[in-house]
Amino acid sequence: MRRRRPRAGEGRSVPGRVVTVRYEGPDRSPTGLVARLCVNGVGLIAAGAIIPGVAVSDWQSVVAGAALLALVDALLKPLVAAASCCLIVLSFGLFLVVVNAAMLAVTAWISGQLGLNLRVDGFWSAAGGALVISLVSLAAQPLLSRITRRAPER
């Protein structure tokens, strides 16, 4: 009698062994949050220095803008990305630049309502600023993973 091959998704059972798969999402510890806040702040400063239509004038606006950007990215960005998932797939992910630009524009609008000195002048400035912030975040990712590395669980 022939043994049946396992179907997709069934996996193989090995007696005495338990295999678990765990997703290690972003670090939500206080150290990780502060590190990401600092990276957002550095990204805002870099975007203000490189992109002509993005302006951040004082350190209070950098700190509050970085916190607002983290808050908008945590609350609003998943909803916008889910609503535009078809466009993201059809554009091979390039539409995420538009989503990130919209999140930066929303952050600048909220900052203006709060009286902070964070300004974004139009879509192309927001797209360029979002690209700079994303590149700074990408460059800082190895450092963040080293800072926020968790001890292995037993």
pTM: 0.76
pLDDT of res. 80: 93
Average pLDDT, the chain: 85
Tell me the C-alpha distance between 23 and 34, whole Å: 22
- What is the gyration radius of the CA atoms in the chain, in angstroms? 21
Region 127-142: mean pLDDT is 93
Give residue 3's pLDDT band: very low, low, confident or very high (50, 70, 90): low
pLDDT of res. 32: 78
CA-based torsion, 106, 109, 113, 117: positive or negative: positive
Q: 47 near 129, Cβ under 8 Å? A: yes
Region 118-147: mean pLDDT is 91
Tell me the C-alpha distance between 127 and 102, whole Å: 8
Tell me the C-alpha distance between 89 and 2, whole Å: 42
Query: Is the pLDDT assigned to residue 29 strictly greater than 60?
Result: yes
Over the stretch 80-116, which tens digit does the pLDDT of each residue have? 999 999 999 999 999 999 999 999 999 999 999 999 9
pLDDT of res. 6: 56
Tell me the C-alpha distance between 110 and 61, whole Å: 12
